[in-house]
Each structure stands twice: as structure tokens, then as C-alpha cells.
A and B are shown apart, each in its own frame.
Chain A
């Protein structure tokens, strides 16, 4: 088991280097660099000073040299500083000689995105499992049809539109929920419970909106898994033993139907750090999606590479964790691995 783990971890290194090289090349395929931003399209900004900036950022060097310089920094886990955001550190905070701490961009954006994604993933599973099970045991009957219709509407409805409508309904027409942002202006003056409540009410809509579109996939997954399992011989055996329908469904069938979910959750781990640009822009949430999108528009290479590197490392880790979890949950797989 340990050997297997070490082997998998070791192979992640060349894989990561390969991924980063391809990302780096693709990033540079898009025309333009930081000196082409809309703000610098200003006759007061001379071409000489822009050329000077390109030299300072090594953008005048061949791409492969730039990649080498980046890799050299990455070996020391130095993600560099942003071009567009005033030399802010990309990943983690730095401290200057006088003890002033400057927070990293990913460090600032990651917690809120993680929180929203974990909550919405929780919401998805919490809602999708019962929906999927009910759908499966009432296959092709009205409850199944209604659930399928509902989750497909949730999947198909444009998230931004629903978000705006809900913001208008719950924030303008009624004073139920805050419209945007993650804290109220007087957040700091609230009690601890008040602050928690304040944050939760701010997160309610974003979590709901980002959860809604994921609901369809997972609940159909559970439904089909359940249908597969319910037609297996051992379910017939369980029924033949005279077990109650509840025991059959929840003890014997559901646990087996949940197995594929592990793979999905493993693959969802990298998704946890990637926010949705649309939801984050509409709700004014300073998360990873917007950070990445803005970095792409500004050609802020260190930030793009930082997020891609962390994302791909997490994807590889997520795969590994999913495999391990699978082995833990399914004895048949365990024998193959160890």
C-alpha cells in the first residue's frame, strides 16, 4: 500500500511539469501581454515605457526561457508576484522588513470559494441522494417524472438570470436577504452569532445558485446507480429473505449505488477551488473564479500559472484520493491495488 502510494506520488512530479509546460505554452498562444491592457491604451503611456515593463517582466525573452525562469522559481515554491495587481504575491502572504504583511491573492480568494463550494456540494449531496433514491424506486411513475423534470429545469435554467431574479425578489421587493457581497458594512460591530448569521444570509443565494445546476447530474447518477443495483440478484435474495423494503433499499441497495459517487467526489476536489465567474461577478464575491478570469483578461501570467498549477496538483491528488477511497470502500478493488 505504502509502495503504491509512493509510486503514485512520484509519478505526479513529471506529470505536473508536463501540465505546467503545456499550460504555459497555451497561455502564451493568446496574443497580447500585460502591456496591452485597456488601461495602458492611453496616449500618455509611451511605447518605450511599455517596452521597459516587458523587459522588467522578462516578457521580451523567448517563451522557453520564460518557462525556465518560472520553473526555477516554482522549485522553491515561489509563485511570484502579480503583474496586474501591483506586485501582490500570487499565492501566500509576504512580510517586509517593517513587519507589514501583504496577503497573497490566492490566499485571499481561496477561503470564500472553498466555503461556497463545500456548502453547495453538501447541499447537492444532501438533496440529490434522496431525490435519486425516490426517483429510482418510483421509476417511470409520477414522482420520478416530477423529480426528473425539476432537476432538469434546475440544470437548464440560466444561473445568472435566476440569480438576478432571486436577488430582486429577496433583496429589493422583500428585505429578506442581502443582495451582494459577503459581509454587511457593519459586520465588524456585530456579535459572533450576528456575524455568523450575517455571513450565512449573504451566502444563501450564491450557494443555492451554484448548487442547483449540480443537482441534476448527481441525482440522475444516484437514480441510475440505484436502478442498476435494484435489478441485481442479491437484491432479489434480500427481498426473498423477507427483509423489509426499507432495509432492502437503504441498507443493501443504496450503499452499493453510492460507490460511483466516490469517483465523482474525488474529481470534484479540484473543482472546489475553481469558482464560477458568473456567480462570483453577480454576487460580488471576491473568489477564485473572478481572480482567474480577470487574470486571463489582463494577461497576468504569474496569477494564471499559479492557479493552474494548484488546480492541476489538486486534480492529481483528487484522483489519488478517489482511488484510495474506492479501494477502502470496495473489497474487489482493494485486492487489485494491494
Chain B
């Protein structure tokens, strides 16, 4: 019925062509009606509607089951967790007023804030928290996220404002996990099948907003929740339109039909700055994204079990070139698997510099002493030749091309193979049938990365698919899970990161910025963005009455 390959090819060209088209078409719409000065400052006020666009539509609004980013984006405005991350990415109470860890570090006690209510006016108590925990650990609940919560051996509610969980062993990522579990109302869900309940299309939560209307395929609108547990937000209504195509989103932004979207580097640093009318109405922000891109080696395949080969490839790749070429400079190099600027990042580490001579001498030390007439390095008469596998992602494909060229310069023969995601995972990652992959990992807020790097996590379907195995790292990862003291934990993960960098099982390529553009009518946004990104205080954003759209403010 369809032509996915063609589509892929077309979507690749689309960004380029659109940007060309926009640059060539110099004329633009005359300012309609009153030409408001959006740079003027106004005092904070309540009301107004913020319209944004998302590529995907949530499949349902029970985040533990829906799982996709679109669902969590909407649900995070509707539901609360016990804890949350503040602007500097430190844990803070959300429903919990305070929490305490027992001296043996095995029990955590949460005290809820007083007078919490659901949007329908019913009280929110520790029984709801207990109910949610039971749901997420229930074997019939179709969620992939239960494992953290199954470690709880006992959950109790001594009184309606207290929730107490005990673990068999101290489990440091526990606090992070309680920041990730959104609490659901027992009185509306009791006795229902969580997988099929219609609650997923008409959720009742406790956060700033409640669901106003959901038009399938078109939009979701949220309206201010008068019973919000976190106080009232300033903006009355949030509308998310579902627009799958980023170019169409950008056109809607240009036409002033949406207030915010995430730009790509070309739009951010080429199109918007070149047009005065856009600069007048759009504010650009830059926040550190939530993932990094890497080149990973299959450590079970020769010659990638040889640290010299891995380091040589690391030295041969120019990371700054990737950042400049792929991200137009809108990214940062990384040298540990954590968000730069947070406490878990080891400040003493720096990426492998670009040093082709060192790369060649390391390759020679690894036995690649010969050269064939095309200039490729030879060991026992054979080239080092492999496929770089990656999925259909424009930035990853472009990175692969630059990596391929740098490897060719030192005499390594790399091919690029691009695949659709599910085939990539099913056919190559799960079976371990790959040499080198170009992929990304999320920069998690909790430093625990046991699932990615511990040598026990190598079975098919697990996440240490590159086969990394270092006893010292195993030990550190185990210790890190048991240590709840942040300072001691930090030392553990700093050592972990430095061993990881030295071992070079992956080459860190870059961490790109998130590039939101928001209409200047929206005020109260922190610029520059704090570590948590601009969204942390979205409840404090406001749209002054003179700048509101008139057609929807009725």
C-alpha cells in the first residue's frame, strides 16, 4: 500500500528543500492587524492559551502503560509523582512534603503534603500511592517499567499521609524511581482492568492541569485544575496539536498558529536568524538534550576486543567536526555518560582529542603494520573492514558519514548500513550480529547504569549488548546501587566514568542541544536554560493580555 523507503528518502530531502524554499522566497506576510511589540515587558498575569505541536499522539494517558514520549509529555501536566527534579536536577518533594531514609538505608518514608486533592475533589492519600505501586508491580499490568518497583519487599501506609517502602538491600536508584511513578487515583480505578479502562482517555489527576478535550488525531487540550496540589499555574489552557511532519510544524509556527516547537539546527541557526520578521516574534532557547550519540564496538568480535584498536578509532574521530557539521555547533562533546554540568559528570575527564598520528601508531601496535595500494592498513594481509550500523535518523546517518571518512584517512575500511528501527534491534542488536553501531543513550538523571554496563546484562534483549566486561566497573556499579549518600555515590560514579573512558568500549560522539522556539508573547521563561531545561517552571510562564490571540481567548 505504501512506499516507506521512498518516504524515507523524501523526508531526508524535505528538510533541505524546505529550507532552500524558505530562504529563496524572500517576501513574507504583511503584519496582520496590530503590530504588537513582543519584546515589551509586562507584569505577570493569569489566563491565555498556549498552543504547541507534537509529532506523536499519545495512545493513552496512563503513562506507565502508554510508555511513549507523547504520552508522558501530556501526562506530566496531569499527574504528580511523590518526588520531582528541580531546576538544578536535585530531588525535591512534589506530593511528598519530606522523605527520610532509615539508618540501614533499606526503608524510605514519605510524608505527603497536607490537604492534597484529586481534580474531582476527592482527597489524595497514601492509599492512592500504595494502589499505584500495586498496579505497577502487578503481573497483569502491561508495563515494561515494573522492575524498579518490584524490588520493594514491603509497602505500608501507617496513616493517610505516610507511605513507607522497604527494600531487601539498600537501593540507591529508588528515589529516582519514585520521581518517575505518577500516582493514580484509587477511587476511580479500583476493580478496573488498568490495561483497558476508559480512564486512559479521560484521566483524573492532581497536577496543574486537567483534561478538557481530546480530539483523536487532532489535538489534546488541558485546562487549569482548580484543585491542583502544586498551586495554580498562570496559563489557563494548554493545547497540543498533533502535527507529525516537522516542516509542517515550522510552517504553522511561521504563520503564528502555534506558539512553540522544537527546531532542528538548520532552522535554529540559519533560517530564523536570517529573517527579521521571525526574530521579532520568536525567542530561541537552548537546553542540554537528554541523550548522547556514540559509536559502540562489539567487544566479542575481533579486533574490537583489543583496546588499542578501540582507542585508535577514538583518536581518529574528530568530535568537534561532528558537532560543527551535524549539529551546526549546537551540541557538546561528552566524556562520561551523564549530563554535562550535573554532579555525576566527572569534571576531570575530557574526550579523546583528534590525533590521527596517534591513531595510526596504536593501530600499528595492534598489528596493522602493512598498507595495501589503496592506503588501507593491513594485518596478516587483511584490511580492518566493518559495517557501521545505524537506524533511520538523519543526524546519525550524517555522523556515520563523517566517521567513515575519518576512519578511511587512517586506513580503516568502514561501510554504512542504515536500517529501520525494529529490524535493526530484532535482527542485529538482539542477536549480537554486528561489529560497530552508531546509536544513542539517554542521559539519565540517576547515575545508576547497571543495566547498560554490568557484565551480567548481556543476554539477548538486555542492554549491555556490546558485551562490556570489566570486573572493577561491575564492582563500582554494584556499590553505586547500595550507596544512598550523594557524595560517596558521586565518587563511585566518577571513578566508573574514568575507567569507561579509558577502556573506550564506545566512542562518545556528542550530546546535542534541545532547541525550543517559543513565541515572544510567552513571558517568564528562564534564559539561559537551567540544567533541567526551560520547562521546569512552565507553571510560572504567562501571556500578557495584550499579546494573546483573540480568536481563541473567548
Contact = CB atoms under 8 A, between A and B. Distances in A.
B506 to A, nearest CB: 14
Interface in A166-216: 167-169, 171-175, 178-183, 185-186, 189
Interface stretch (B18-26, B348-356, B475-483, B521-529): B18-26
Nearest to A185: B552
B144 A50 contact: yes
A160 interface: yes
A39 B69 contact: yes
Interface stretch (A25-33, A224-232, A240-248): A25-33
Nearest to B446: A44
A160 B10 contact: yes
Interface string B458-476: 0111110000000000000
Contacts of B60: 85-88
Interface stretch (A66-74, A137-145, A291-299, A323-331): A291-299
A284 interface: yes
Contacts, number: 214
B218 A286 contact: yes
Given A31-B423, A102-B201, A284-B243, A164 B21 contact: yes
B49 to A, nearest CB: 9
Shortest Cβ-Cβ A-B pairs, 3 listed: A286-B217, A32-B426, A32-B422
B422 A33 contact: yes
7 contacts: A32-B424, A36-B422, A47-B460, A87-B60, A102-B201, A172-B254, A297-B421
Given A86-B66, A100-B198, A311 B248 contact: no
Interface in A102-132: 102-103, 108-109, 112
Contact of B426 (A31, A46, A49, A281): A31
A252 B14 CA distance: 48
B65 A168 contact: no
Nearest to A178: B257
A153 interface: no
* Residue among B2, B17, B215 having the largest count of chain A Cβ atoms under 10 Å: B2
A248 to B, nearest CB: 42
Interface in B119-154: 139, 142-148
A274 interface: yes
Contact of A45 (B7, B139, B144, B196): B144
Contact of A102 (B198, B244, B442, B462): B198
A41 interface: yes
A49 B217 contact: no
Interface in B216-242: 216-219, 239, 241-242
Interface in B517-549: none
A277 interface: yes
Interface of B: 1-4, 7, 10-11, 14, 17-18, 21-22, 25, 27-29, 32, 51, 57, 59-60, 62, 65-69, 139, 142-148, 180, 195-198, 200-202, 215-219, 239, 241-245, 247-248, 251-252, 254-255, 257, 420-427, 430, 441-442, 444, 449, 451-452, 459-463, 551-552, 554
Given A35-B144, A39-B67, A171-B251, 14 more contacts: A31-B422, A37-B421, A44-B144, A44-B180, A49-B145, A49-B146, A50-B461, A103-B216, A171-B255, A173-B25, A179-B252, A181-B218, A183-B215, A307-B1
Contact of A186 (B10, B195, B442, B551): B551
A115 to B, nearest CB: 13
A44 B136 CA distance: 13
Interface in A238-289: 274, 276-278, 281-286, 289
A31 B218 CA distance: 32
A236 to B, nearest CB: 45
A222 to B, nearest CB: 26
A165 interface: yes
B504 to A, nearest CB: 21
A53 interface: yes
Contact of A49 (B144, B251, B421): B144
A322 to B, nearest CB: 19
A44 B150 CA distance: 12
Contact of A31 (B202, B217, B427): B427
Contacts of B27: 173
A48 B147 contact: yes
A33 B421 CA distance: 11
Is the interface on chain A under 10, 10 to 19, 20 to 34, or 35 or more residues? 35 or more
Given A96-B198, A168-B21, A53 B144 contact: yes
A237 interface: no
Contacts of A168: 21-22, 25, 251, 254
A48 B461 CA distance: 9
Contacts of B67: 39-40, 45
A43 interface: yes
A43 B463 CA distance: 7
A158 interface: yes
Given A50-B461, A284-B243, A183 B14 contact: no
A86 B65 contact: yes
A100 B426 CA distance: 37
B452 A43 contact: yes
B371 to A, nearest CB: 38
Contacts of A172: 28-29, 251, 254-255
Contacts of A46: 144, 146-147, 451
Given A185-B51, A286-B216, A286-B242, A297 B552 contact: no
A116 B463 CA distance: 44
A53 B14 contact: no
Contacts of B460: 47
A85 B251 CA distance: 28
Contacts of B62: 86
A276 B148 CA distance: 42
Given A164-B18, A185-B239, A281 B421 contact: no
Contacts of B218: 181-183, 284, 286
Contact of B217 (A30, A41, A81, A108): A108
A121 to B, nearest CB: 17
Given A33-B426, A39-B67, A168-B22, A296 B145 contact: no
A85 B59 contact: yes
A52 B139 contact: yes
B1 A56 contact: no
B421 A38 contact: yes
